Structure 1
Amino acid sequence: MRVPVVHQRARRRRARYARLLWNGAEILVTLGVVLMLLVVHQLWWTNRQAREGAERKVQALESEWGARDGSEGGEGSAAVGGSGSGGGSGSSRDRSGADSRTAPDSASATDTNPRPRWTQAYAILSIPRLGLRVPVAEGISKGNVLNKGYVGHYPDTAQPGRAGNFALAGHRNTHGEPFRYINRLRRGDRIEVETPAAVYTYVVDRTLAQTSAGDGGVIREIPRSSVRPSYGYTDPGYYLTLTTCTPEYTSKYRLVVWGKLGSMRPR
């Protein structure tokens, strides 16, 4: 009877392969867990943090304005573009060439508040159809504005209620995603912008479902797409522009919603 001979070299080789397979499996499982945590962080945690922070800021602005209304007869000093920014500067005829008679009733009332500081939250955007109520801050910085769940005001565009184009940007996904559903807005929907001085009501007028990320024409004083010129306007007016990324979870293109100022009421 033969005694089987154990080949130590073959055994060591098999053991080495087994360790390699085990270590590879551990690495794959670890990577999977890390990726899952990253997804949870981006899609859930950043939204939760940003939304809570944005809600607190809205409440803080409302409290601040309420206190001013009580102590100063409603003449707040929180920043709203008094001299305007870019297309919204000066009188109702400045830069746009639009006569004050083209504005809605009372829309040309003087707003004497100073220009907002960079990244300062100074207004509240409300969209009843979407149940949205978020702060508006100066600038479109990701870290200091958009990633906080705020809506950002494009520098050098008009301020609320001023002649020209009051242009805003917001995230569609993650970090509060305030503009996730603006594709659902339809002509005639109301959009309100509250400042310490007044509440401006814009009415949705047109939508551009997709344009390039570099289409600066959509936020000009008279908004008109540079990529798709059939979309936009040709006459001076009092415009509101909302922009966000599209399709969802990408930043390849931009979705644009335009509105026109319908009315203004003092606070």
Structure 2
Amino acid sequence: MVLAGVLMLGYVGWQMWGTNYVSERKQRDAVETLERTWREAPAPDDASGSQDGRGAAEPASVPLGDASALIRIPRFGDDYVMPVFEGVADDVLAQGFGHFDTSAGPGEKGNYALAAHRVTHGEPLRDMPSLRPGDEVLVETRDMRYTYVLDTDPNDLVVTFRDVWVVDPAPVNPAGGVEPADEPRLITLTTCAELFHTDNRMIAFGHLVSAEEKTGAAS
């Protein structure tokens, strides 16, 4: 029983602290690698093939599990930056944000839907409850910077993991209540509703307010 207790404490310790240490290193490496790749790899000449019409590589052209964007949330501090990977499998979410690959890409019409852990694995959305309407979510791709503004308070919408309507192209709350703004280009953030294991998800909706080319020219 003592051994079992020690093993259990070790497992809890690994989940709470060990995974954070490992994931934070991977997240920093992923951010640096993506930024270096963007600097060194020129954009393709054919905008119709792998770009979204605004100059940014479409997530659809990025393989599942690979990084496609960077996300910054000023509310979380000036040094907060996280990689966004394609897909939402467990191994993907262990590295940073995951992009629901069937949802819209950054800046596209529809719903750019993202998920991330609230505890363990770097805790990208640990402070999700502190977000408020009007807070910015900044998404950077190879050639573009997108600014989204949140429209809803994440504390006002908690759903079960079965409520997949939140990642629909134009989410409609079947129970009424909190929904996204009536805007063509949306963003959805989703994470665990509580700090420990839960089947419920905390949701925040926002919409795109600007898109700017990295060269400084407005799109």
Normalising by structure 2, we get a TM-score of: 0.86
* CA–CA distance in structure 1, aligned partners of residues 13 and 38 of structure 2: 37
Matches within 5 A, 1:185-204: 185-204=131-150
- Post-superposition Cα deviations, 1:53-101, rounded to whole Å, max 9, x if no partner, equal 0111001111111224xxx4xx369xxx9476xxxxxxxxxxxxxxxxx
* CA–CA distance in structure 2, aligned partners of residues 156 and 83 of structure 1: 16
Report the equivalent of 1:51. Answer: 24
Residue 124 of structure 1 contacts residue 134 of structure 1 at CA under 8 Å; is this kept in 2? Answer: yes
Q: How many percent of aligned residue pairs carry the same amino acid?
A: 33
* CA–CA distance in structure 1, aligned partners of residues 140 and 181 of structure 2: 27
Residue 151 of structure 2 contacts residue 180 of structure 2 at CA under 8 Å; is this kept in 1? Answer: no
- Post-superposition Cα deviations, 1:117-156, rounded to whole Å, max 9, x if no partner, equal 111111101111113311111110102x1112x1111121
Report the equivalent of 2:159. Answer: 211
* CA–CA distance in structure 2, aligned partners of residues 178 and 192 of structure 1: 14
Residue 189 of structure 2 contacts residue 203 of structure 2 at CA under 8 Å; is this kept in 1? Answer: yes
* CA–CA distance in structure 1, aligned partners of residues 6 and 55 of structure 2: 57
Unaligned runs of 5+ in 1: 1-27, 85-107
Residue 76 of structure 1 contacts residue 196 of structure 1 at CA under 8 Å; is this kept in 2? Answer: no
Q: How much has 1:212 moved relative to structure 2? A: 1.4
List structure 1 segments (4+ residues) > 6 angstroms apart after TM superposition.
none
Report the equivalent of 1:24. Answer: none
Q: Which amino acid aligns with 2:172?
A: R
Report the equivalent of 1:141. Answer: 89
Unaligned runs of 5+ in 2: 215-219
Specify the SS of the correspondent of 1:59: helix
**Which shows bigger deviation, 229-238 or 164-173?**
229-238
RMSD over aligned Cα atoms: 2.1
Structure 1 residue 170 and structure 2 residue 170: aligned? no
Residue 57 of structure 2 contacts residue 142 of structure 2 at CA under 8 Å; is this kept in 1? Answer: no
Q: Which amino acid aligns with 1:253?
A: N
- Post-superposition Cα deviations, 1:213-251, rounded to whole Å, max 9, x if no partner, equal 11111111112333x322114745110000011122122
* CA–CA distance in structure 2, aligned partners of residues 172 and 146 of structure 1: 11
Residue 180 of structure 2 contacts residue 205 of structure 2 at CA under 8 Å; is this kept in 1? Answer: no
Q: How much has 1:166 moved relative to structure 2? A: 0.1
* CA–CA distance in structure 2, aligned partners of residues 82 and 234 of structure 1: 29
Larger radius of gyration: 1
Residue 44 of structure 2 contacts residue 50 of structure 2 at CA under 8 Å; is this kept in 1? Answer: no
* CA–CA distance in structure 1, aligned partners of residues 33 and 44 of structure 2: 14
- Post-superposition Cα deviations, 1:154-189, rounded to whole Å, max 9, x if no partner, equal 121100000110000111111112111111111111
Specify the SS of the correspondent of 1:257: strand
Number of residue pairs the alignment of both structures matches = 206
Residue 137 of structure 2 contacts residue 150 of structure 2 at CA under 8 Å; is this kept in 1? Answer: yes
Matches within 5 A, 1:97-176: 109=54, 111=56, 115-131=61-77, 132-143=80-91, 145-148=92-95, 150-176=96-122
